Amino acid sequence: MGNPCGYDVAVVGGGIVGLAVAYRIVNRHPGLHLCVLEKESSLASHQTGHNSGVIHSGLYYKPGSAKARMCTQGRRELIEFARNPGVPFRICGKIVVATEEREMPHMRRILDYARANGVEGIEEIGPERIREIEPACRGIRGLHVPGTGIIDFAQVARTLAQLIGHTGEGNQILTGHEVVGFQRDGSRSVVVTRQGEIRARLVINCAGLNCDRVARLDGVHPGIRIIPFRGDYYDLAPQATEKVRALIYPVPDPRFPFLGIHYTRKINGTVDCGPNAVFAFKREGYTKTSFSLRDTAASLSYPGTWVLFARNARYGLHEYARAISRRLFLRTLRRFIPTIEPQDIRPGKIGVRAQAVGPWGQTLDDFKIEIGEHAIHVLNAPSPAATACLAIGDHICELAARRLGLSP
Ligand SMILES: Cc1cc2nc3c(=O)[nH]c(=O)nc-3n(C[C@H](O)[C@H](O)[C@H](O)COP(=O)(O)OP(=O)(O)OC[C@H]3O[C@@H](n4cnc5c(N)ncnc54)[C@H](O)[C@@H]3O)c2cc1C
């Protein structure tokens, strides 16, 4: 299995973050030997393959934060990368729509953030301009963000993997290799997988919904726990898709880390509506009834989860009600497009977000990357990490080079 002489770098996780990190490393340091270890039989099976597919512009993130920097840089790099054949994308623009006066202060704060983050072309718009851009949409004020786009992130991940494969025989993508432990062998890590052992000078943990577990296997106390939040989508039925031209977003509730239920016209012309955000009983489960005793016990035995629940009980119950009731979901959608009818929506895909939560119930907003003794751990890479993947890759590539004694 793998390379009997071992690798310089082993990346755990074949999602978009792990693959972007690997891609940057093999390109900048062609002499290194690298492997990507993915537990599933195919790449991009989890968050990367179950998301909204939006190339974010960087408007929501606190100026100066890693998210703000990496989203704007990553967006540029992703668009450049998508010029590779076989990665269709479209810069379609989006509107963020306020439907009530009380949303205005937060909408203006987003506008300030966007300007500070260098988001190009953003402007505040009134109801007429909203209707010009999205004829079926209603709102009192909004933001128009012309640089937002759509892409298939799973396709980006597969293209990254192909390009890594083309860089030489020393680099390998090993699917079906679940990492279950770490040992030491002198200066090397021994990565124990279900297929056997792999030696590497440096391990990079990009395990998404399991990143906290992989960190603990390496003896690192991550200081957070991944609490999974399910997001359900509806699809617009074919007779209703013309009601959405591009992307329609609400003004997000500033108390929560999620952007709220939005309309997304995808690359293939279909329209997603969602996602909501409810506590999930399984980290990698894609039905409303998915349940894992291990995952549920991990979440509910963590004090931070209970603090989070207690603080947001009303919001949580409302989200659950909306997850069960199609009527409530429809009501949310009608805030923006009043002509959406019950027969216009049908159940769509489901995604699960890896949300890092601290012991006091705080949801970690920014990306979190921890440098351990033998490994680099990506411990919080929520949205917009798919947009920012190549910028995250650049950053981790520099950290890895320093750790391996190479010039960055
Ligand atoms: C509903 C939803 C909507 C979103 N919308 C957007 C959006 O529009 N735009 C945007 O930029 N971002 C969006 N995001 C966020 C984005 O999808 C994630 O930030 C990104 O996909 C994270 O990538 P990742 O590689 O870290 O994680 P993942 O894609 O989850 O990959 C982690 C990989 O690690 C593997 N793994 C786990 N444990 C092990 C182990 N022990 N051994 C080996 N392999 C292991 C898993 O199988 C998995 O393939 C959204 C996310 C969700 C859930």
Q: pLDDT digit string (tens) for 107-120? A: 999 999 999 999 99
| Protein residue with least CA distance to atom 33, ligand 1 | 13
Tell me the CA–centroid distance for residue 209 and ligand 1, in Å.
7
Which atom of ligand 1 is least distant from the CA of 387? 11
Contacts of 311 (CB under 8 A, 6+ apart): 361
Please indicate, yes or no, whether the overall pTM of this predicted structure exceeds 0.85.
yes
Tell me the CA–centroid distance for residue 102 and ligand 1, in Å.
33
Q: Would you say residue 1 has pLDDT above 60?
A: no
State how far the Cα of 138 lies from the Cα of 130, in Å rounded to an integer. 7
- Per residue in 54-96, pLDDT (tens digit) is 999 999 999 999 999 999 999 999 999 998 888 999 999 999 9
Least confident of 40-54, 320-334, 343-357, 374-388: 320-334
Q: Are 177 and 193 in contact (CB under 8 A)?
A: yes
Which atom of ligand 1 is least distant from the CA of 351? 1
Q: Would you say residue 212 has pLDDT above 90?
A: yes
Which atom of ligand 1 is least distant from the CA of 378? 26
Tell me the CA–centroid distance for residue 100 and ligand 1, in Å.
33
Classify residue 171 by burial, with Cβ atoms within 10 Å: 0-12, 13-18, 19+.
Answer: buried
Ligand 1: which of 35, 41, 48, 379 to mutate, most ligand atoms within 8 Å of CB? Answer: 48
Alpha-helical regions (H) of 94-152: 104-116, 127-133
Tell me the CA–centroid distance for residue 385 and ligand 1, in Å.
8
Instruction: Give the mean pLDDT of 264-278.
Output: 95
| Protein residue with least CA distance to atom 39, ligand 1 | 207
Residue 4: the pLDDT is 62
Residue 406: the pLDDT is 85
Instruction: Give the mean pLDDT of 301-309.
Output: 96
| Protein residue with least CA distance to atom 31, ligand 1 | 15
State how far the Cα of 373 lies from the Cα of 360, in Å rounded to an integer. 26
Tell me the CA–centroid distance for residue 18 and ligand 1, in Å.
9
| Protein residue with least CA distance to atom 52, ligand 1 | 51
Tell me the CA–centroid distance for residue 315 and ligand 1, in Å.
25
Ligand 1 binding site (Cβ under 6 Å of any ligand atom):
12-18, 37-40, 45-48, 50-54, 56, 178-179, 206-210, 214, 231, 275, 351-353, 381-387
Q: Would you say residue 5 has pLDDT above 70?
A: no
Tell me the CA–centroid distance for residue 219 and ligand 1, in Å.
23
Which atom of ligand 1 is least distant from the CA of 13? 34
- Per residue in 229-239, pLDDT (tens digit) is 999 999 999 99
Tell me the CA–centroid distance for residue 282 and ligand 1, in Å.
15
Residue 320: the pLDDT is 86
- Per residue in 33-62, pLDDT (tens digit) is 999 999 999 999 999 999 999 999 999 999
Tell me the CA–centroid distance for residue 184 and ligand 1, in Å.
28
Instruction: Give the mean pLDDT of 355-362.
Output: 96
- Order of strands across the sheet that contains 54-55: 54-55, 149-151, 89-91
Which atom of ligand 1 is least distant from the CA of 384? 11
Q: How many CB atoms lie within 10 A of CB 85?
A: 7
Tell me the CA–centroid distance for residue 344 and ligand 1, in Å.
29
Tell me the CA–centroid distance for residue 105 and ligand 1, in Å.
32
Residue 85: the pLDDT is 81
Which atom of ligand 1 is least distant from the CA of 352? 53
pLDDT grade for 254, boundaries at 50, 70 and 90: confident
| Protein residue with least CA distance to atom 14, ligand 1 | 383
**Residues in the chain, total:** 408
Which atom of ligand 1 is least distant from the CA of 206? 26
Instruction: Give the mean pLDDT of 264-288.
Output: 95
> By 3-state DSSP, what share of the chain in percent is helix, strand and coil, each rounded to 5?
35, 25, 40
Measure the N-to-C terminal CA separation of the chain; round to a whole number of Å: 30
Q: Would you say residue 408 has pLDDT above 70?
A: no
